[in-house]
């Protein structure tokens, strides 16, 4: 399991089928919004419930005393802040839920085991929020670390506000961010000192950190760290880059080596026909990846990208991205 600043961290990402409800817009975040869940559920249970229903309520990461769990990709918006369809909290911030702050009998005046769980969850949140701000290139200050109350006036995070602890928490996040930026110890790779800016197709880049199996951030691998390759494709307002056929990178994962003299045009979409009765479309290039939709025999699809390093199917490692939605083995298209 990976970690963020010493806190266990894993992804349980919402399926693309639910993007319209949970995260319909691409996003390049410039701030964070902090919440508390107002219940006693774990981070795992919070995220599992959130990504599994169709309510237009969502957030990026839930944090408890044991771990942080990501439910929404950082390059997608969430409906978290109550500030409207184009509100800054909903459209430009990474949102965090801190767990264990409330129960029905005591409200936020929790005691005993739950209080200890909450204290640990809050301490974990300081570390995780600061680390993610470093990784996403978001400076931490009083203008960028915001509460739900700051966004729309709701009493949230309720326990921190009821206890008069919000400012102390906010300042602790800023302090931890500054420690990390100053080179303090961390269980993760130090932040990229020269993240890619305005990359173009054909640019040569160096892999500073990791690549991912898909543009949503699933399937992290550091196998190509230190190697150089060219940008083949760019997606999203927050710039996700396909490097060769190796995998996808965020700007913080790569560094510019050489600009392309004349950037090649991305390949035009090609229409293909499905050749088997039911063809699953996956988030990545493995049959074990999450299925996001199915297409049927005879159906026309547009191939928007190709890769030649996927799981072998009938002797071929060639995979095709269809309709910009997900991946299928190319052997099932003609």
Q: pLDDT for 304-313, tens place per residue?
A: 888 887 899 9
Question: What percent of the chain has a predicted confidence (pLDDT) above 90?
Answer: 62
Q: pLDDT for 233-287, tens place per residue?
A: 887 655 678 999 898 888 888 999 999 875 445 555 689 999 999 999 887 888 8
- Say if residue 67's pLDDT is above 90: yes
Residue 310 pLDDT: 82
- Say if residue 87's pLDDT is above 80: yes
- Average per-residue pLDDT for the chain: 89
- How confident is the model over 151-160, as a mean pLDDT? 96
Q: Could you give the strand order of the β-sheet that contains 145-147, starting from the edge strand earlier in sequence?
A: 2-4, 7-11, 67-70, 61-63, 93-98, 31-36, 145-147
Asked which of 130-144, 181-195, 302-316 is least confident by mean pLDDT, the reply is 181-195
- Tokens matching residue 265: 């045009």
Residue 26 CB neighbours (<10 A): 16
Distance CA 77, CA 112 (A): 36
Residue 97 pLDDT: 98
Q: Check: pTM over 0.95? Answer yes or no.
A: no
The residue with greater pLDDT, 219 or 295, is 295
Residue 144 pLDDT: 93
């Amino acid at each position: 399991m990976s970690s963020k600043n010493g806190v266990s961290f894993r992804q349980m990402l919402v399926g693309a089928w639910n993007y319209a409800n949970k995260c319909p817009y691409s996003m390049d975040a410039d701030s964070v919004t902090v919440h508390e869940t107002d219940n006693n559920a774990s981070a795992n249970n919070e995220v599992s419930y959130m990504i599994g229903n169709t309510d237009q309520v969502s957030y990026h990461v839930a944090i408890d005393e044991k771990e942080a769990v990501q439910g929404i990709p950082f390059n997608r918006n969430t409906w978290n802040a109550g500030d409207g369809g184009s509100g800054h909290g909903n459209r430009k911030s990474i949102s965090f839920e801190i767990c264990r702050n409330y129960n029905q009998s005591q409200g936020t005046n929790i005691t005993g085991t739950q209080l200890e769980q909450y204290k640990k969850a809050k301490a974990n949140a300081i570390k995780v929020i600061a680390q993610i701000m470093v990784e996403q290139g978001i400076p931490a200050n009083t203008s960028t670390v915001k509460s739900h109350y700051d966004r729309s006036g709701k009493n949230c995070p309720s326990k921190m506000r009821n206890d008069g602890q919000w400012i102390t928490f906010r300042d602790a996040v800023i302090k931890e961010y500054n420690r990390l930026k100053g080179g303090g110890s961390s269980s993760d790779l130090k932040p990229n000192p020269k993240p890619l800016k305005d990359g173009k197709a054909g640019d040569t880049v160096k892999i500073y950190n990791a690549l991912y199996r898909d543009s949503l951030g699933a399937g992290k691998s550091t196998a190509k760290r230190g190697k150089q390759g060219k940008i083949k494709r760019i997606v999203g307002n927050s710039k996700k880059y396909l490097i060769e056929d190796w995998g996808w990178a965020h700007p913080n994962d790569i560094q510019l080596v050489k600009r392309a003299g004349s950037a090649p045009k991305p390949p035009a979409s090609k229409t293909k026909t499905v050749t088997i009765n039911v063809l699953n479309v996956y988030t990545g290039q493995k049959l074990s990846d999450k299925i996001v939709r199915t297409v049927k025999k005879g159906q026309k699809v547009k191939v928007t990208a190709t890769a030649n390093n996927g799981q072998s199917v009938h002797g071929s490692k060639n995979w095709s991205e269809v309709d910009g939605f997900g991946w299928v083995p190319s052997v099932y298209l003609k």
